[in-house]
C-alpha cells in the first residue's frame, strides 16, 4: 500500500519525472481506476507557481494529455492525468530505430493536431521533444499519440516566471529565436516539431546547432538518405532558422503533410511491423487490476459506497421522479335488461346533465408585482368588466337620470322659498357688519 492523498489518490509506483515533479501511477478511489499523478517535488514558490499554471490548463483533445484534477495534502500537491501506458517516442525509437515514413506521417499528423488545439488556446508549449510525446499501448493497431508535460508552457501575454535573458526549454530542441531570448511564440513550437520528425526518421537525436548553421549558410539542403523528397520538404520548412520561413500555423503544416503523405510509396509486405508495447510493467505487490488488495489507512471508507450516487466529477445524479401509480379504473359492465320474450327495445332514458355539487371557486388574478408577496397581500376580488363600452354606459346612466321623476310640487315649492329666505337673511346680516 502506498501514500494516500486527500483520502482519494493512492500512490502506487513512480513511472517518470517531469519538469517540476515526479510522475506516479496512482489509484483513484473515487473513479475506481488507475491514473497518472504528478507530485510536486519542491515546495519553493517558483516551482509552485509553475505547478499551478500547469494544473490550470484544461484542453480537451484526443492528442493532448492535460491535467484532469488536483489535490493537496499538507505541504504536498499533485494533479492527475490519464494513464498512458505505451511509453514515449524515445521508447519507440529505442525499440525499432528509424521508423517508416508512412508511420512518421501518422505520428506527425497527430502531434500537429494536438498542437493546433494548444495554440488555439493561445498557449505556447515551449518543451516539445520525443520524451514529452506519449503513446497509448495500441499494439499493432493504429498508434495514438498524446502531447504531454505543460510544466513550462505559458499563454501569450502572461508574465514570465524567469528572467528575460534566461532560456527555458530542453537543449537540442530550442528554436534559434529562443536561444536569442525572444518572447515565446508558436513558430518555436513548430521548429521543435521539425526536430522531432527528423529524430523519428533518422533514429537519433539531430544536431540542431549544425542544422541551423547549414541552413543559414547554404540554404535548404537536399533530402537525407532514406527520407522521401515530399516528406523532407515539409520537415525542412519546419526547420527554417527564420521564423517567417516556417509554416504560419500547425494546421497549415498538417495540410502540407497530408499532401506529402499521398505521394509516398505504398508499404511493402516485407516491411517490419511496428508494435507499441505496454511500457509500465506489472503492478507492484498489493495491487491488482481492480485496485489495491487491502485498504490503506487514510482512505475514506465511505467514498466507494457513495460512488453509486455520485458522478465521476463529484456531482450527484438525481434519482428519477417517483410516480404514484394511478389506480386503474375497472370498466363497468352495462347491465343488460332481462330477456323477455315480449321485450323488443328498451325505452331510452332521458339525458340529465351532471353538474358539480359545488361550483368551483374562482382563482383571483395575480399580477407580476404582487406575485412574490401573494401570501402577505390581501387579494382584491376582481369585478367583471361591463359588456358595453365606457361611453355607452355613461349615456345610459344619463338617460335613466333624465327619466327619473323629481319630488312633488307641494314639497319642492316650500323648500325653494325657504332657501331664498335664508339667502336674504344672510345677505342682510353681512350688510350690517
Give the residue numbers annotated as catalytic, written as ranges.
127
C-alpha cell at 340: 323477455
d(CA 319, CA 347): 57
Could you tell me if 155 and 121 are in contact, meaning their C-beta atoms sit under 8 angstroms apart?
yes
3-state SS assignment for residue 395: helix
CB environment 183-197: b (16+ within 10 A), e (fewer): ebbbbbbbbbbbbbb
Could you tell me if 38 and 48 are in contact, meaning their C-beta atoms sit under 8 angstroms apart?
no
Handedness of CA 139, 140, 145, 151 (dihedral sign): positive
CA 426 to chain centre: 93
Angle of helix 186-202 versus helix 229-238 axis, rounded to 10: 140
Which residues are 22's β-sheet partners?
17, 39
d(CA 114, CA 131): 16
d(CA 146, CA 66): 9
d(CA 33, CA 298): 18
d(CA 421, CA 339): 98
Angle of helix 101-120 versus helix 250-262 axis, rounded to 10: 160
Amino acid at each position: 500500500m502506498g501514500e494516500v492523498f486527500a483520502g482519494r489518490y493512492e500512490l502506487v509506483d513512480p513511472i517518470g519525472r517531469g519538469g517540476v515533479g515526479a510522475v506516479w501511477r496512482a489509484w483513484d478511489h473515487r473513479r475506481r481506476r488507475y491514473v497518472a499523478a504528478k507530485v510536486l517535488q519542491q515546495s519553493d514558490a517558483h516551482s509552485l507557481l509553475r505547478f499551478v499554471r500547469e494544473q490550470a490548463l484544461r484542453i480537451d483533445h484526443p492528442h493532448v494529455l492535460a491535467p484532469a484534477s488536483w489535490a493537496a495534502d499538507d505541504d504536498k500537491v499533485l494533479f492527475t492525468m490519464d494513464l498512458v501506458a505505451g511509453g514515449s517516442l524515445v521508447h519507440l525509437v529505442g525499440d525499432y530505430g528509424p521508423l517508416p515514413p508512412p508511420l512518421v506521417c501518422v505520428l506527425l499528423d497527430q502531434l500537429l493536431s494536438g498542437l493546433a488545439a494548444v495554440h488555439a488556446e493561445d498557449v505556447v508549449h515551449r518543451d516539445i521533444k520525443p520524451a514529452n510525446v506519449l503513446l497509448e499501448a495500441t499494439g499493432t493497431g493504429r498508434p495514438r499519440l498524446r502531447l504531454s508535460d505543460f510544466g513550462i508552457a505559458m499563454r501569450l501575454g502572461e508574465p514570465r516566471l524567469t528572467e528575460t535573458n534566461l532560456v527555458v526549454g530542453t537543449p537540442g530542441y530550442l528554436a534559434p529565436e529562443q536561444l536569442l531570448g525572444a518572447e515565446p511564440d508558436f513558430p518555436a513550437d513548430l521548429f521543435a516539431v521539425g526536430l522531432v520528425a527528423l529524430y523519428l526518421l533518422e533514429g537519433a537525436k539531430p544536431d540542431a546547432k549544425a542544422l541551423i548553421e547549414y541552413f543559414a549558410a547554404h540554404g535548404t539542403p537536399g533530402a537525407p538518405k532514406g527520407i522521401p523528397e515530399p516528406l523532407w520538404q515539409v520537415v525542412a520548412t519546419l526547420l527554417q532558422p527564420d521564423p517567417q520561413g516556417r509554416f504560419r500555423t500547425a494546421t497549415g503544416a498538417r495540410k502540407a503533410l497530408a499532401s506529402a503523405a499521398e505521394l509516398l510509396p505504398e508499404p511493402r509486405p516485407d516491411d517490419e511491423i511496428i508494435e507499441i508495447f505496454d511500457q509500465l510493467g506489472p503492478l507492484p505487490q498489493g495491487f491488482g487490476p481492480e485496485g489495491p488488495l487491502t485498504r490503506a489507512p487514510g482512505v475514506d471508507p465511505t467514498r466507494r459506497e457513495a460512488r453509486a450516487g455520485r458522478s465521476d466529477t463529484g456531482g450527484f445524479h438525481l434519482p428519477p421522479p417517483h410516480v404514484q401509480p394511478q389506480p386503474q379504473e375497472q370498466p363497468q359492465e352495462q347491465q343488460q335488461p332481462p330477456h323477455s320474450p315480449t321485450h323488443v327495445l328498451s325505452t331510452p332514458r332521458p339525458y340529465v346533465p351532471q353538474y358539480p355539487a359545488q361550483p368551483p371557486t374562482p382563482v383571483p388574478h395575480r399580477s407580476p408585482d404582487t406575485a412574490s408577496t401573494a401570501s402577505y397581500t390581501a387579494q382584491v376580488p376582481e369585478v367583471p368588466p361591463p359588456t358595453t363600452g365606457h361611453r355607452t354606459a355613461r349615456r345610459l346612466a344619463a338617460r335613466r337620470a333624465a327619466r327619473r321623476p323629481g319630488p312633488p310640487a307641494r314639497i319642492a315649492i316650500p323648500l325653494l322659498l325657504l332657501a331664498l329666505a335664508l339667502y336674504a337673511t344672510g345677505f342682510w346680516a353681512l350688510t350690517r357688519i
